[in-house]
């Protein structure tokens, strides 16, 4: 069994989770500060990938990243790299699809944050940056880690948009999910089933971690 699809899936999901982690926290904080009317609109746009069909996300990504499209042409000209049909193209797809999970979890955590804690820090002479890193983020830690785990699980399961922007090239862009589809199409059900089991195992572990985190968080709240 060639393990490339697993390694490729894991590196894509890891990179996408790292990007989504930072983007989600940053935008959750930024959106909370917007005026109400703008907040509603921006919130819808940022959550949309959660409910859109992956093919729509893939289509929109191709419109931007394709070699003859604005961003794709720019990257090709300046850096000489293609943004589609390469393994890291799947990172873009996974980021867009997994982003709403991280964003909404972080937003929920920030909304539940006790502003008195930030005010107390202000009266003690602390600046906003210190407050964010030392008080706000640690207080919301469990929810934010849970959001990242959920985003990782979703990124790992990405198929639709990925197959459109990265395609399926064995040993180059193949992921676990695209490999399962390919093997099923050529009738290699035995090998497809093995990849299916690998995928189920990883996703189940991610969900166990998620449940454990949430259980721990509830216990922490009860003791408070």
35 sits near another protein (criterion: CB under 8 A): no
157, two tokens: 């399961």
122 sits near another protein (criterion: CB under 8 A): yes
193 sits near another protein (criterion: CB under 8 A): no
Give the separation between CA 58 and CA 76, rounded to whole angstroms: 20
Query: With 0-12 CB in 10 A as exposed, 13-18 as middle and 19+ as buried, what is 155?
Result: buried
Q: Quickly list H helices, the chain.
A: 4-32, 36-51, 54-65, 70-78, 89-111, 115-123, 128-131, 137-139, 141-156, 160-165, 176-185, 189-223
11 sits near another protein (criterion: CB under 8 A): no
**Whether 34 contacts 42, CB under 8 Å:** yes
Q: Provide the mask over 195-224, with x wherever binding to another protein is found by CB under 8 A and - wherever it is not.
A: -------------------------x--xx
Residue of 120, 193, 205, 207 interacting with another protein (CB under 8 A): 120
Give the separation between CA 72 and CA 79, rounded to whole angstroms: 10
119 sits near another protein (criterion: CB under 8 A): yes
CA distances from 6 to 89, 177, 179, 203 (A): 16, 9, 10, 13
Residue of 2, 7, 70, 114 interacting with another protein (CB under 8 A): 114
Nearest approach, Cβ of residue 114 and another protein (Å): 7
111 sits near another protein (criterion: CB under 8 A): no
Residue of 67, 138, 171, 215 interacting with another protein (CB under 8 A): 138
Residue of 124, 129, 186, 190 interacting with another protein (CB under 8 A): 124
Q: Provide the mask over 141-160, with x wherever binding to another protein is found by CB under 8 A and - wherever it is not.
A: x-------------------
Give the separation between CA 175 and CA 9, rounded to whole angstroms: 5
Count of CB atoms within 10 A of residue 220's CB?
Answer: 11
117 sits near another protein (criterion: CB under 8 A): yes
**Which residues contribute to the site for another protein (CB under 8 A)?**
114, 116-117, 119-127, 134-135, 138-139, 141, 220, 223-224
């Amino acid at each position: 069994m060639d393990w490339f699809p697993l390694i490729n899936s894991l590196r894509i999901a890891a990179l996408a989770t790292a990007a989504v982690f930072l983007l989600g926290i940053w935008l959750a904080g930024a959106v909370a500060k917007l005026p109400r009317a703008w907040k509603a609109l921006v919130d819808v746009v940022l959550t949309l990938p959660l409910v859109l069909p992956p093919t729509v996300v893939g289509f929109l990504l191709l419109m931007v990243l394709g070699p003859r499209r604005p961003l794709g042409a720019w990257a090709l000209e300046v850096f000489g790299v293609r943004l589609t049909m390469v393994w890291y193209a799947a990172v873009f797809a996974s980021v867009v699809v997994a982003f709403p999970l991280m964003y909404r979890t972080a937003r929920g955590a920030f909304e539940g944050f006790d502003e008195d804690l930030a005010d107390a820090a202000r009266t003690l002479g602390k600046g906003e940056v210190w407050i964010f890193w030392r008080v706000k983020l640690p207080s919301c830690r469990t929810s934010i880690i849970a959001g990242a785990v959920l985003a990782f699980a979703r990124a790992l399961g990405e198929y639709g948009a990925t197959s459109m922007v990265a395609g399926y090239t064995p040993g180059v862009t193949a992921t676990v999910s695209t490999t399962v589809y390919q093997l099923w199409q050529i009738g290699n059900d035995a090998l497809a089933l093995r990849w299916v089991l690998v995928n189920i195992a990883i996703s189940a572990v991610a969900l166990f971690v998620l449940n454990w985190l949430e259980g721990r968080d509830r216990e922490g709240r009860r003791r408070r």
